[in-house]
């Protein structure tokens, strides 16, 4: 294993310290906790908290700031943050209007965020939440009941962050979130596995000429392994699965997020984007919003994911386009 680290057991602590140092104009580390909070003055809006295991950078700390998250909790690598850490984030995010939790659909995350919610409510903080389950590749995978929460979570951060900034109530944000998650679908593929620093070797291996469709962001199994194929073929398969999942019609409007898994160069992401464009064009699908880059990674996994959001409400598009001040958006 070759990595630019010191002690494998200290990667999260040292990463958070480095993150807070580099972005100290926008965020800070909550003293004594693995929590990143925004520095913006509190204005009485609903606080937004997300988080999960580390290894998905820039998620979730990279989306803390004005217009998006109030705080993000960083668990150990590929491990849910503990309830006490989440509780501290909730307290820090509270501006008097309640706190909304954005949780990815993994058993440990759900359990620990719910425990933290109970702790916060005992302190008089009103808390609501949504579980993001955008990965349509497989059902009931490792760590989940139902579908996994993956890159589509970032779009939830963005749209709910805009709603909070515009003064929406906790109840209004809950209603928006419940509708939103039903209209975000993701599917991805891997060319190689991810290496957890304390393990020292990839969580799974693929042959040099092999790929896996539907892989999860922690290395969970996908739905099919095949020989490596041209980008056009990969794009066609992912677009096909996503448009089928929506039963997409020509008058539907979609947003697209192309997400690198950590070790995929932007050159390859843009080639894939060009092929995605062609696949949509052949289907007569209108794409009115586009985003590309590394947003929900899996340490050093080589791979890519494609997220579609069905823009049922024009306000969702406005929210996606609204300016924010965060380290990573």
Q: Three-class SS of residue 300?
A: coil
Q: Are residues 243 and 274 in the same domain?
A: yes
Do 312 and 165 share a structural domain?
no
Distances (CA, A) of 288 to 247, 277, 281, 297, 317: 18, 12, 13, 24, 8
Q: pLDDT tens digits, residue range 177-203?
A: 999 999 999 999 999 999 999 999 999
Q: What is the pLDDT of residue 144?
A: 65
276: region left, alpha or beta (phi > 0 left; psi from -120 to 50 alpha): alpha
Complete DSSP assignment for 215-268: --TT----SEEEE---HHHHHHHHHHHHHHHHT--TT-EEEEEEEE-BS--HHH
Q: Do 205 and 90 fall within a single domain? A: no
Dihedral sign, Cα of residue 231, residue 274, residue 135, residue 265: positive
Same domain, 256 and 158: no
Residue 140 has pLDDT above 90, yes or no: no
Residues 135, 272 share a domain: no
CB 147 within 8 Å of CB 134: yes
Count up the domains in the chain and report the number. 2
pLDDT for residue 138: 85
> In angstroms, rounded to a whole number, what is the distance separating the alpha carbons of residues 126 and 146?
27
- The catalytically annotated residue of 23, 60, 185, 218 is 218
Question: Is 60 noted as a catalytic residue in this protein?
Answer: no
For residues 205 and 80, state if they share a domain: no
Which residues, 6+ apart, have CB-to-CB distance to 256 below 8 Å?
276, 280, 287, 289, 290, 291, 306, 307, 308, 309
CATH number at residue 30: 3.40.50.10440
In this structure, is residue 277 part of a structural domain?
Answer: yes
In a domain, 118, yes or no: yes
Give the bridge partners for 307, in sequence order. Answer: 186, 257
The domain boundary residue, chosen from 141, 164, 181:
181
Same domain as 311, residue 261:
yes
Domain boundary among 181, 208, 235: 181
| Other Cβ atoms within 10 Å of 84 Cβ, number | 13
The reply to whether 163 and 217 lie within a common domain is no
For residue 196, what are the domain limits? 184-321
Q: Are residues 31 and 177 in the same domain?
A: yes
Which of 316, 160, 178 shows the shortest CA–CA distance to 252? 316
| 244/310 same-domain check | yes
Please report whether residue 266 resides in a domain. Answer: yes
Task: Say which residue, 77 or 139, is predicted with more confidence.
Answer: 77
Q: Of 121, 156, 181, which residue sits at a domain end?
A: 181
Residue 327 located in a structural domain: no
pTM for the whole structure: 0.97
Same domain, 222 and 123: no
Q: What pLDDT is stored for residue 95 in this prediction?
A: 98
- The verdict on residue 328 lying in a domain is no
Residue 294 has pLDDT above 90, yes or no: yes
Average pLDDT of span 209-237: 96
pLDDT grade for 143, boundaries at 50, 70 and 90: low
Give, in order, the Cα–Cα distances in Å from 20 to each of 29, 31, 43, 298: 6, 11, 22, 21
- 32-48: pLDDT as tens digits: 999 999 998 899 999 99
| Percent above pLDDT 70 for the chain | 98
In a domain, residue 326? The reply is no
* Assigned domain for 1 exists: no
Name the active-site residue from 56, 60, 157, 185. Answer: 56
54-112 residue pLDDT tens? 999 999 999 999 999 999 999 999 999 999 999 999 999 999 999 999 999 999 999 99
pLDDT in the model for residue 72:
98
197 and 173, same structural domain?
no
């Amino acid at each position: 294993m070759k990595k630019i680290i010191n002690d494998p057991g200290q990667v999260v602590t040292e990463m958070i310290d480095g993150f807070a140092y580099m972005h100290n104009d926008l965020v800070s580390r909550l003293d004594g906790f693995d929590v990143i909070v925004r520095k913006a003055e509190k204005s009485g809006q609903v606080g937004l908290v997300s988080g999960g295991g580390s290894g998905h950078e820039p998620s979730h700390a990279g989306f803390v700031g004005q217009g998006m998250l109030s705080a993000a909790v960083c668990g150990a690598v590929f491990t849910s943050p503990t309830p006490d850490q989440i509780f501290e984030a909730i307290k820090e995010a509270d501006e008097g209007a309640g706190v909304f939790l954005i949780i990815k659909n993994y058993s440990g995350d759900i359990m620990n965020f719910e425990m933290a919610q109970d702790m916060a409510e005992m302190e008089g903080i009103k808390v609501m939440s949504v579980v993001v389950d955008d990965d349509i590749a497989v059902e009931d995978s490792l760590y989940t009941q139902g579908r996994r929460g993956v890159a589509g979570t970032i779009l939830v951060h963005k749209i709910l962050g805009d709603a909070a900034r515009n003064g929406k109530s906790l109840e209004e944000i809950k209603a928006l979130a419940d509708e939103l998650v039903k209209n975000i679908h993701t599917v991805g593929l891997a060319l190689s596995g991810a290496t957890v620093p304390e393990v020292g070797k990839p969580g799974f291996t693929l042959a040099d000429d092999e790929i896996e469709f539907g892989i999860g962001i922690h290395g969970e199994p996908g739905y099919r392994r095949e020989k490596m194929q041209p980008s056009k073929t990969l794009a066609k398969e992912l677009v096909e699965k996503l448009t089928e999942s929506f039963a997409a019609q020509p008058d539907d409007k979609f947003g697209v997020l192309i997400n690198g898994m950590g070790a995929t160069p932007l050159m390859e992401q843009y080639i894939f984007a060009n092929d995605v464009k062609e696949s949509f064009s052949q289907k007569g699908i209108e794409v009115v919003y586009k985003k590309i880059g590394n947003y929900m990674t899996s340490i050093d996994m080589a791979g890519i994911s494609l997220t579609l959001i069905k823009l049922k409400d024009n306000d969702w598009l406005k929210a996606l386009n609204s300016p924010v001040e965060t380290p990573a958006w």
